[in-house]
Structure 1
């Protein structure tokens, strides 16, 4: 028993060092400021990472839809399952730091025939044993096992960050799909209203033509606009159905009718005052960037394991127990037994395998570094693009709103001039087309504004 305990104490005392390079976070391969105006990237306000998604998406129906997506979607289930698998792999690797102790019970009965027996008589031998011990436990003198355990830990943590990435993306995609559905429902209403007004105008033109008060050209122009609006209404109806299908796919289940948009795009509140902060604070907090950094740290730890392969490996095998030729005397006095078998393996020649493994580990570290820098640069561009849109989107929406007001007034005045015979029908048709297009453009700009807020939440690494 004493050698067994001494071996365990030696393993605990000698293990703990590592040959892995000291890790330092690389410099950010991007600028220290966003390439936009200060108004578009305000530092005041709440950082996106500190905002729960319910604080950003404040509409009750949208919140319920996002919650349903987080509960039902298969992509998030896959991410959670990957976390469980990575956690299990880390625990398996970490278990190698401690000896695996097993209890073994054995019994043997053997017969030796008289022709080969030393006594000239047939002999039957019985032996029974019970022992507890460990086999081939490696003393981690140079940190090989510890480095492998550290790499497994970083891989597990990277998988957790991947789950956060999937969750944030799912929230943003669901919100965008919901907003798009609301906007397309508004567009359908615009086309239906336009169709109704043009059908009334066409009916009036037909009656005036039959009475001889207008030309056939006016009648056919009115018919052309009517059929165009009818076609637009059919396209808008199909688009709304496609939006519903996209939302169902994201949610992973049928979306209850009471959760669908009810009051139009303008009634769905999305928080506008998300602070951009500094690139050095924002980018390193994004889960995809953190995942890339975890992968880099894992490859850095693998270099330590590859370096340790050049040094001797010491393994211990030991056990203690009892042995007896009679089962009844197995636990009797004098039946104790023990064994202790240390082994040292010194690499002398491996055909360059150890050098190749080290170079491979270093190359993997360099590739992970490049991936980390690419993740930083991609995040920087996404945030910059979102801020560039935010810098002008308010002005765009305001301009489109004024355009609709002007086009509405123009259409009203042109209608009055046409009714009084001052202008021809062509001027009225042009005013109607302008108003129709202006209303569509205003709706598109309002959707772009809402989508930009969603994109800022995602690009800035919004909270869960």
Structure 2
């Protein structure tokens, strides 16, 4: 009856405390119209080696090095091992505990404070014991603590994949930037060759008294300006190589050995046909946050169980004697067995405060999950929007490049025939150069957006690849 009363009182003492946030089981954001404007494919989830779509073997090798040598990957793996160890500690609490001990204590007993034949003498007390203890987890406290640890272990495992995705994505973006700078160097060197040719032509026109000294000075000034631009671009190339080497966890000398990229244009983009539904399990950040919600829910169960009696069974068996001669005698045996029950009666509100704290932690985890879900769908929508408008921009820019090149060729021919001024040539050349640079930037942005879309779609993440039961979307338990 006492135990029953304790259980009832324990349940009533926290009945008014519960979480206030709720999980979004679906995408509670408007995205249908945005997604409907994008080409759809039934099988367009990126693979785990999604970067291979760029067709550059060197890039594949560099990412392989980065995923082995980057300190962030090693740190994420260490966090997984730490979470596994904590899970092991909580798992051990469900099993009995067996301890063995032996002691030999030399002691003088007081002649005035000790009764019996040992008063006033030196004695050696020998004692050995074997103890067994087991907590009866009636209220599921230890089981809930284990489930919370398992949830955090799965979250750490998913975070490790998210780390590799972040690093591989950063490698691809830096590699695309490196290729863009190489292409800008090609363009600048082409312009430099044109300027040197124009300078030669201007000098001949000046000798023929068709141009002035001012035209020669302008033509001469354009050459070092272009060389300075090339130097700046070469600096950018080395910085990109340094960035790639750092992502690989290596020194800058490793970056010097990176050859010029040879990325090919990827296939036209599309998205999975079941994107809204499958996004819940296709992004590592979403899945990891969902595991944290589940772990926080189990922490609430632990906090509730603390309101109820704690029951332990203990048994011990051993030997104790003064002097080693009687140590093995059967009369030296000790034996004890019995339950130990503890019940919180007055704790100054500590248990309620702890439960309220766990409820708030659960609400924080839930809202973090909801926000992660919103960020995920907006991340994908941003990439799709940019890709959709980029195609039109590239088409228009190609026409602009063609027009500017035609204008430059026309002006250059007229200048050679003495029908145009050098200023007209310079204006046409600068216009053509600007349009060509813009086209190079747009093509690089297209590759960058393709990489960003693959990252936004989860980079080939699959909960089954992390653990066979590591999909909290399908079996998240109710903890409210």
Tell me if TM exceeds 0.5.
yes
Aligned residue runs from structure 1 range 167-206, under 5 A:
167-206=164-203
Alignment of 1:152 onto 2:176: no
Match of 1:139 in 2: 136
* Maintained 8 Å contact 2:18/2:359: no
Query: Within 1, Cα distance between the matches of 2:117 and 2:209?
Result: 137
Q: Tell me the alpha carbon deviations over residues 293-327 of structure 1, each in whole angstroms, 9 at most, x when there is no partner.
A: 11111111111111112111112332223445554
Query: Within 1, Cα distance between the matches of 2:333 and 2:306?
Result: 38
Alignment of 1:444 onto 2:441: yes
Q: Tell me the alpha carbon deviations over residues 351-380 of structure 1, each in whole angstroms, 9 at most, x when there is no partner.
A: 111111111111111111111111111111
Aligned residue runs from structure 1 range 344-355, under 5 A:
344-355=341-352
Per the alignment, in what secondary structure is the counterpart of residue 346 of structure 2? Answer: coil
Structure 2 residue ranges without an equivalent (≥5)? 1-14, 462-480
Q: 1:315 to 1:272 in 2, by over 3 A?
A: farther
Per the alignment, in what secondary structure is the counterpart of residue 210 of structure 2? Answer: coil
Q: 1:330 to 1:370 in 2, by over 3 A?
A: same
Match of 2:259 in 1: 260
Alignment of 1:275 onto 2:274: no
Query: Within 2, Cα distance between the matches of 1:274 and 1:167?
Result: 24
Alpha-carbon shift at residue 38 of structure 1 (Å): 3.7
* Maintained 8 Å contact 1:28/1:376: no
Q: Tell me the alpha carbon deviations over residues 177-221 of structure 1, each in whole angstroms, 9 at most, x when there is no partner.
A: 011101101111211221122123123313432442212343243
Query: Within 1, Cα distance between the matches of 2:139 and 2:452?
Result: 48
Alpha-carbon shift at residue 164 of structure 1 (Å): 1.1
The equivalent position to 2:286 in structure 1, one of 286, 289, 293, is 289
Q: 1:394 to 1:32 in 2, by over 3 A?
A: same
Match of 2:28 in 1: 30
**Range with greater deviation from structure 2 (216-225 or 451-460):** 216-225
Match of 1:318 in 2: 315
Alpha-carbon shift at residue 51 of structure 1 (Å): 4.2
The equivalent position to 1:61 in structure 2, one of 58, 62, 75, is 58
Alpha-carbon shift at residue 245 of structure 1 (Å): 1.6
* Maintained 8 Å contact 1:21/1:300: no
Alpha-carbon shift at residue 168 of structure 1 (Å): 0.3
Structure 1 residue ranges without an equivalent (≥5)? 1-18
* Maintained 8 Å contact 1:61/1:261: no
Q: 1:78 to 1:326 in 2, by over 3 A?
A: same
Q: 1:131 to 1:374 in 2, by over 3 A?
A: same
Alpha-carbon shift at residue 98 of structure 1 (Å): 1.6
Q: 1:54 to 1:225 in 2, by over 3 A?
A: closer
Alpha-carbon shift at residue 450 of structure 1 (Å): 0.4
TM-score, normalising length: structure 1: 0.86
Match of 1:129 in 2: 127
Aligned residue runs from structure 1 range 34-433, under 5 A:
34-36=32-34, 38=36, 40-48=38-46, 50-53=47-50, 55-112=52-109, 118=116, 122-135=120-133, 137-254=134-251, 255=254, 259-263=258-262, 267-268=263-264, 270=266, 272-273=268-269, 275-276=271-272, 277-325=274-322, 327=324, 330-331=327-328, 333=330, 335-433=332-430
Aligned Cα root-mean-square deviation (Å): 2.8
Say how many residue pairs are matched.
441
Per the alignment, in what secondary structure is the counterpart of residue 307 of structure 2? Answer: coil
TM-score, normalising length: structure 2: 0.83
Match of 2:12 in 1: none
Per the alignment, in what secondary structure is the counterpart of residue 422 of structure 1? Answer: coil
Stretches of 4+ aligned residues off by more than 6 angstroms = 19-24
* Maintained 8 Å contact 1:21/1:301: no
